[in-house]
Amino acid sequence: MKFESRAGANPIDRLKVVGKSHDRIDGPLKVSGQAKYAYERHDVAPNQAYGYMVGASIACGKITSLDVSDARNAPGVVDVISTLDYKPVPLSSNNTANLFGGAEVQHYHQAIALVVADSFEEARAAAHLVRTTYERKNGSFDLAAVAKAAPLYKNGDDDTGEDRYGDFEAAFEAAPVQFDAQYTTPDETHAMMEPHSTIASWDGDKVTLWTSNQMIAWSKKALAKSLEVSEDKVRLDSPFLGGGFGSKLFVRADAIVAALASKKVRRPVKVTLQRPLVANNTTHRPATIQRIRLGAHKDGRLQAIAHESTSGDLPGGGPETAVNQSKLLYAAGNRLTSMRLAVLNLPEGNAMRAPGEAPGMMALEIAMDEMAEKLGMDPVEFRIINDTQVDPMNPEKAFSERNMIECLRRGAKEFGWDKRNAKPASQQDGDWLVGMGMAVGFRNNMLMKSAARVRLGTDGVVTVETDMTDIGTGSYTILAQTAAEMMGLPLDRVKVVLGDSDLPASAGSGGQWGAANSTAGTYAACVKLREQIAKKLGLDPEQADFTDGNVLQGNRSFSLKDAAKDGELVAEDAIEYGDFGDEYAQATFSGHFVQASVNRFTGVTRIDRMLAVCSAGRILNPKSARSQVIGAMTMGAGAALTEELAVDKRFGFFVNHDLASYEVPVHADIPYQEVIFLDEADTASTPMKAKGVGELGLCGVGAAIANAVYNACGIRVRDYPLTLDKYLDKLPAIA
């Protein structure tokens, strides 16, 4: 199905099932332990062996010897595969670091061996018997030390490395009110609950991987390239994921090495990465150094915006795109954005939930607050007068829907913003200094081809089949809702099968694009199935009404099962967008409001309450969408207050590579959260008129917390996270 013009009225608009809050249909499986994650797929292949990964203990250099003889002779060991026995595996375009093979070490904990044994304990014990010697090279591990020499990042021969509109320098120089500051964000790890895990098994020249992966179609192609087989020889199956946040978008070492080991030992091999290897062997969110300059008229209207960011990655990698939102978020006639990319020998930097916007808005939205204070304006009003309904870098392109102002007005009213004292450190509750802060949230809406297959069985049950994944987001439920609405069925008469690469290729889970695109693909398949059913029953597909398990037209009525009495009906289609998706700027917006308190004696920070008001098109399932947003808000609290991968700048690794020392928020840290969704439908997005919320809920949260902390205690911290060491000695004097 080609989506080539704004969506008109369609069966989804009935909103009998879509748009209603439903419990997740996979919930009972998960709470009862019946939802099997990758490492738990004990029944999929007999005689599974256990693999234990050995990671490099240097960050840069090469292996001079790798002695596995003692490990190979240890009790229960089946075999040991060594990186020295393989050439480096070919990489897909989405990978930067070598995943396995060869003597070169590019980063700490790079996979160099896998011990395969009859039990996990035997594999782990034998792994400690692997003896490795290295030739260490000097590496670059300190972003601050190399930032000034980092070149502009150019994406192509014609790219200057700078995006400009108007004359920023002249406008900034002429601005009556100027602001110029630097902000930093740290390296962060995804810290998802389920580690990267894979069971691999070969059947002749075909390999199947039961794995934990967000993007099945991408990874099937990547695995075929890495294993040097044709794509039809590779199958991935990933029906349940215990989180990913971007770290499972691409193939990682667990999948590659499990497949290589399985082929060598001729039996299934299962591998899960130890938590330290999740942090150091896979990917992370790179640290940034950001400079923001704002120039405004005295009435608060911005006339110049510049956002420049520096980050680092391995050779051949890319930057953390922290300036993306600053191209689109606020009006100003003169603009400059640029990124610089330093070469670092740290583990690979890559996508983490809301890549770019998450760290970028942590800086931009503090800068907006600081500029508002300099202007003597309320932070909410300052943002409102700088709203724009068109792309500021391309004023001919309007936003399809842009309700940022309503998010802010509604949020301010519901949160009680009028009770905020604009003077920092002026409100106290016992031993606590209390403050309020806010920030805008922004995330682009991305359109991607997505396919699905739907079946009408002889029992009247409709089955949806697609390789779409559910990473804890509720994909099973919203796809079932879509089919139920289209086919006129209750939710319990729809079955959903996900995560298998033998199924039609979906958009996958990532970038906030999964829900809108995968449901649109299911919509397209259902349109075809409705046509088949109507023709089978002798009805006009354009006039037939599918409702309550029946198909009606005029005074004629059939049970849906009547159409399949001679055998199941099957339809498959995909949503495709062509050039229409480029006609509008498409984005989602939110207003984040936070109340935070700082203990005036100890400096301890606590979050009292949080509110997000979101503008994200039609909300398909308010219950699961709220869950996504409050989870993102909690993640933003971690980024603001606790999360930081500590870099050992001598040896080039992340020291706090476990969940004991990398601190993420827990339920007790967030006592009250609320989410409001604006009632809207974006007809330029998809036939579902929906967009995403999973990353929007994170964008801007860190800055809202930082702004609340500043309002509470009067100390402005520009270096995340806002840990005690950065402000304890600056707290207001205690009388």
Using alpha carbons, select from 604, 609, 612, 655 the residue that is nearest to residue 632.
612
Phi (first) and psi of residue 28, to 5 degrees:
-60, -35
Tokens, residue 518 = 């995968």
- Helices then strands, each counted (H, E), the chain: 15, 31
Task: Classify strands 49-55 and 269-272 as parallel, antiparallel or unpaired.
Answer: parallel
Q: Are 618 and 19 in contact (CB under 8 A)?
A: yes
Residue 440: count of CB within 10 angstroms of its CB = 29
Q: What would you measure as the largest C-alpha separation in the chain, in angstroms?
A: 86
Tokens, residue 163 = 């995006």
The rounded distance, in Å, linking the Cα atoms of 401 and 404 is 9
Q: What is the DSSP string of 613-654?
A: EEE-BB-S-HHHHHHHHHHHHHHHHHHHHT--PPEETTTTEE
Check residue 725 and report its DSSP letter: G
The rounded distance, in Å, linking the Cα atoms of 650 and 357 is 30
Check residue 574 and report its DSSP letter: E
Torsion of CA 251, 253, 256, 261, to 10 degrees: -160
Strands of the sheet with 234-237, listed across from one edge = 77-82, 111-117, 49-55, 269-272, 197-203, 206-211, 234-237
The rounded distance, in Å, linking the Cα atoms of 641 and 167 is 37
Task: Classify strands 334-343 and 302-313 as parallel, antiparallel or unpaired.
Answer: parallel
Q: At a CB cut-off of 8 Å and minimum separation 6, what does 437 contact?
A: 369, 379, 593, 594, 596, 703, 704, 705, 706, 707, 708, 709, 710, 711
Check residue 25 and report its DSSP letter: T
Residues that are catalytic:
695
